[in-house]
């Protein structure tokens, strides 16, 4: 079972079916906030949807294709983060994350992204970590910037968010760059 301690108040841990109620509660309570940037929110309407999400994340982990964890802050799940994809052929880990609205502004996600980046290089021996974020999602884009990731470009109309496309900005950092930082 994956658990990764980031501080005395913050850890990442593999989601379990027992977490479905909290994940659904967190999603539902932050629905309008999350919906602005995440295309899956309208498809997560029931507790059963959260259970299916967790089953999928565990399958991805078991198959060594992804790692999706609950962000546990002060003993409560406050969001989800991890590697949406582990590209073993090219040694690239792709970080994704979301946080419940009431937990913004505490430095949680910056600490999480930093921990995941370190984990990708130290444990998985990846060569590169990437984070992409919608062009106008300034809060999400601030995280890789703070961590020293390099802005690598724009993916035009990368994602369909309910009724429109959004461009994504790609950030990356290489293992040797991370070591120097």
Task: Write out pLDDT tens, residues 23-39.
Answer: 999 999 998 888 888 88
For residue 7, the SS3 value is: coil
CATH classification at residue 88: 3.40.630.30
pLDDT of residue 35: 85
Which residues constitute the domain of residue 98?
A: 3-127
Q: Is the pLDDT of residue 1 over 80?
A: no
User: Could you tell me the pLDDT band of residue 62, with boundaries at 50, 70 and 90?
Assistant: very high
pLDDT tens for 102-135 read 999 999 999 999 999 999 999 999 999 999 999 9
Answer yes or no: is 143 within a domain. Answer: no
Give dist(CA 30, CA 100) in Å, integer. 6
Mean pLDDT, to the nearest integer, of 66-92?
A: 98
Biggest CA-to-CA distance, the chain: 45
Contact 112, 131 (CB under 8 A): no
Number of domains in the chain: 1
**Residue 75 confidence (pLDDT):** 96
If you average pLDDT over residues 55-60, what whole number do you get? 97
Percent of the chain exceeding pLDDT 90 equals 90
CB crowding 100-123: b at 16 or more within 10 Å, else e:
beebeeeebbebbbbbbbebbbee
Tell the burial category of 164 from Cβ atoms under 10 Å away from its Cβ (0-12, 13-18, 19+).
Answer: exposed
Half-sphere exposure of 11 (CA within 13 A, CB side): 12
> For residue 167, is it within any domain?
no
Q: Is residue 61 part of a domain?
A: yes
| Rounded CA separation 42/31 (Å) | 8
Does 40 reside within a domain? yes
């Amino acid at each position: 079972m994956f658990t990764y301690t980031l501080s005395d108040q913050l850890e990442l841990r593999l989601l379990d079916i027992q977490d479905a109620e909290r994940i659904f509660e967190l999603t539902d309570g932050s629905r309008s906030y999350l919906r602005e940037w995440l295309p899956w929110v309208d498809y997560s309407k029931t507790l059963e949807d959260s259970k299916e999400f967790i089953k999928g994340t565990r399958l991805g982990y078991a198959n060594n294709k992804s790692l999706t964890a609950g962000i546990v802050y002060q003993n409560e799940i406050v969001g989800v983060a991890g590697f949406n994809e582990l590209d073993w052929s090219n040694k690239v880990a792709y970080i994704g994350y979301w946080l419940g609205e009431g937990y913004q502004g505490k430095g949680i996600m910056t600490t999480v992204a930093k921990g995941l980046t370190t984990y990708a290089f130290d444990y998985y021996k990846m060569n590169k970590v990437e984070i992409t974020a919608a062009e106008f999602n300034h809060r999400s884009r601030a995280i890789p910037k703070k961590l020293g990731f390099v802005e690598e470009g724009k993916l035009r109309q990368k994602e369909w968010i309910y009724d429109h496309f959004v461009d994504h900005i790609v950030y990356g950092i290489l293992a040797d760059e991370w070591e120097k930082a």
